[in-house]
Amino acid sequence: MHDRVHLENSYWAVTLWPQWGATIGQLIHVPSQHALIRGPLTQRDLDREPYLFGMPLLFPAGRIADGQCHYGTEHWQWPRNDTAGPNHLHGFLWNKPFDIQMKSETQCVLTPATDTLSLLTHYMHQPLAVRVEYALTQQFLKMRASFTNLGRREIPFGFGYHLNICLATGWQLSLPPGRAWIMGPDLMPVRLARPGELPHAEWLHSQWNPRDLVCDMCYTVDSPEHHVVGFEDADQHQKIWLHAFAPFGHWVLYRPHETADFISVEPYTWVHNAPHLPYPPKLTGWRLLKPGEKVETLLVWESPI
C-alpha cells in the first residue's frame, strides 16, 4: 500500500500514511478492538474511492462551484474534479506526500513534502506553512493541524477531515445541536432548513442509527466553540466521543446507499461552497487568512476510562 507509521498506547492504535496525505489509514480502539475507520483492502480500492477510506485531510474542504473563488481583484481557479458537476472537490492535500519531522511511539509530526508545498503555492497563489500532528495522551488521540500564510496577500481558508466511519460495529451516533442545509441538485447548500422541513433532520438531534440514513448533507452546529459527536455500541456498553473545537463548526454526512458499510462524518471549518453563499461568514464559515496569520485546528478522540 504505502509506507506506514504506527502509534499505540493502551487506548488507541493508529496507522498513518505519510505518503498519502498524512492521513490516518487505520484507527483501532484497543480496549474493545473496534476498528473505527474504514480501511482499503488493496491499493486498487484506494485508487478507486480515495476519499472514502481513512481520514483524508481536505484543504480547501468540500465542494466549490466551478472550482472558482474570488475576493477583491484576486481570482483562484482550482481543478474541476467533482463527478457531481463541474466543481472542485476536497483540495490538494489528501493524496500528496508529507515528510516526517518527529516520531515517537505515541506522537508524529508531519509537514508537506517539497512538491506538495509547490502545488499549494501554485493553487493558493501564496506560500503556506502546514503542520499536522497526531498525539496519544492516555485515553485521548489528538489531531492537530496548523496553516500559516507566509505570503503577502490574503487567501481563502477552509479545512476539514473526511472521517470514514466503519459500520462493522453497531454504532449509534449523536450530533450536537444544529441545523441541516437544504441541498440543490448539484449537492451544494442553498439555505438552512426550517424546522420540520427535512424529515431526517429532526432525529439527528438525538441518538440515531447511521444504517438508517442515505444522504449527502451539510449540517451546521449551534455552538462551534466546543461540540461533541458521540459513538455508542450498546451491545458492548462502549462509548467513544469525538470532540471538535472552533473553527470547526460544520459537518458533512455522507452515505451513498443503504447497504454501504461506512458513513462519512466530516468536520469542516466552512460549509460546502462557502465562498459563493449569500450569507454572513458567521453562518457559512467563510474566512480569509491574512499575511502572517496562523490558524490551528483540533479534534480529540476520547475513550472513557
**Cell output for 214:** 442515505
How large is the average pLDDT for residues 22-43? 93
Record the pTM.
Answer: 0.96
How large is the average pLDDT for residues 48-74? 95
- Is the model's pLDDT at 1 over the cut of 80? no
| pLDDT of amino acid 2 | 64
Residue range 239-294, pLDDT digits in tens: 999 999 999 999 999 999 999 999 999 999 999 999 999 999 999 999 999 999 99
Find, among 115, 111, 121, the residue nearest to 146 by Cα: 111
Model confidence band, residue 41 (pLDDT cutoffs 50, 70, 90): confident
- Is the model's pLDDT at 120 over the cut of 70? yes
- Is the model's pLDDT at 233 over the cut of 80? yes
- Is the model's pLDDT at 303 over the cut of 60? yes
The residue assigned the cell 490538494 is 92
Amino acid code (one letter) for 24: I
| pLDDT of amino acid 304 | 87
Residue range 162-217, pLDDT digits in tens: 999 999 999 999 999 999 999 998 899 999 999 888 877 777 878 999 999 999 99
Find, among 260, 183, 174, 175, the residue nearest to 214 by Cα: 260
Which has the minimum average pLDDT: 34-48, 98-112, 129-143, 269-283? Answer: 34-48
